[in-house]
């Protein structure tokens, strides 16, 4: 037998700790990617607006 008690749940606690760490890492990655996509979307919208303004300037001029 082992030296641990019958009710020793150290392995389960360690697994829960590792799962929590993996979940936090996953959510951090998801938030980073979503933030980067949001910034890219905003930058694209600004560039599109500038292109529209430039085209209007050419047409009026």
Write out pLDDT tens, residues 23-59: 999 999 999 999 999 999 999 999 999 999 999 999 9
User: What is the spatial distance between Cα 61 and Cα 59, in angstroms, rounded to a whole number?
Assistant: 6
CB 8 within 8 A of CB 14: no
User: What is the spatial distance between Cα 17 and Cα 10, in angstroms, rounded to a whole number?
Assistant: 11
- Say if pTM beats, i.e. exceeds, 0.75: no
All structural domains of the chain with their residue ranges: 11-61
User: What is the spatial distance between Cα 54 and Cα 61, in angstroms, rounded to a whole number?
Assistant: 10
CB 4 within 8 A of CB 10: yes
Q: Given the structure tokens 């529209």, which residue do they identify? A: 52
Give the pLDDT score at 61: 84
Give the pLDDT score at 4: 64
């Amino acid at each position: 037998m082992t030296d641990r008690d019958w009710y020793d749940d150290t392995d389960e606690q360690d697994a829960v700790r590792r799962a929590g760490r993996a979940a936090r890492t996953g959510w951090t990655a998801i938030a980073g990617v979503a933030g980067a996509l949001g910034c890219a979307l905003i930058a694209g919208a600004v560039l599109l607006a500038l292109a529209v303004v430039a085209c209007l300037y050419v047409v009026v001029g």
